[in-house]
Amino acid sequence: MTAILLLLLLGACFVTGLALVPLGLPGLWLMVLGVIGYGWLTDFQAVGLVTIVLALGLAFVGEILEAVVGFRFTQRYGGSKRAGWGALVGGIAGAIVGVPVPLVGSVIGAIVGSFAGAALFEYLRSRRARVAVGAGWGAVLGRAAAAALKIALGLVIAVATAVAIWQG
């Protein structure tokens, strides 16, 4: 019975973690904590150092990809490095401001904040509205692409952990 309960708890961490990623919240890190917790509660019999290091590595890669993809999309749509920073700062600020709205507030806030931050920073640099709007649009697309990549990494964490448990 305890084994089933631990698997259900781990599964809840995985599902919740994957759901948090598009909200701009640290879902991959919740998944990593779930893997570490499962390992600890089972005396690291099935989930060992390799699985934990893999989960940690994928979570770090996800954070790096999120920043890189956001910058690249912003630049691809005409923005400068300054617009990339504006998208990052605006996305974080927007997610924080949107938190009071249940479920979707942080998502909407992060998207609007990314757009506004990139557009504002680019407009202050170039003084051209069309370029600023392009940078903002690139920031929004970059945020969506980064979320998709992080969800894919989360799925890899879940599958790798499941395989480790199955084989353990």
Please report the pLDDT score of residue 1 as a whole number: 58
Going residue by residue through the chain, which has 168 residues, state the pLDDT in tens, using 9 for 90 and above.
588 999 999 999 999 999 989 877 789 999 999 999 999 999 998 899 999 999 999 999 999 998 889 888 988 998 888 998 898 889 888 888 887 777 678 788 888 998 999 999 999 988 989 999 999 999 999 989 999 999 999 999 999 999 999 987
Q: Which domain holds residue 115?
A: 2-167
Instruction: Determine the Cα–Cα distance for residues 45 and 10; give it in Å rounded to an integer.
Output: 15
The structure tokens listed for 72 are 């690249």
Q: Please state, as a whole number, how many other Cβ atoms lie within 10 Å of the Cβ of residue 8.
A: 10
Q: Please state, as a whole number, how many other Cβ atoms lie within 10 Å of the Cβ of residue 69.
A: 20
Inter-residue contact 154 to 111 (CB < 8 Å): no
Query: To 10 degrees, the CA torsion angle through 11, 14, 18, 20?
Result: 100
Inter-residue contact 121 to 97 (CB < 8 Å): no
Structural domains in the chain (count): 1
Please report the pLDDT score of residue 66 as a whole number: 87
Please report the pLDDT score of residue 27 as a whole number: 93
The structure tokens listed for 117 are 């931050």
The distance from CA 99 to its chain's CA centroid, rounded to whole angstroms, is 16
Instruction: Determine the Cα–Cα distance for residues 31 and 117; give it in Å rounded to an integer.
Output: 29
* Angle subtended at Cα 17 by Cα 23 and Cα 48, rounded to the nearest 5 degrees: 150
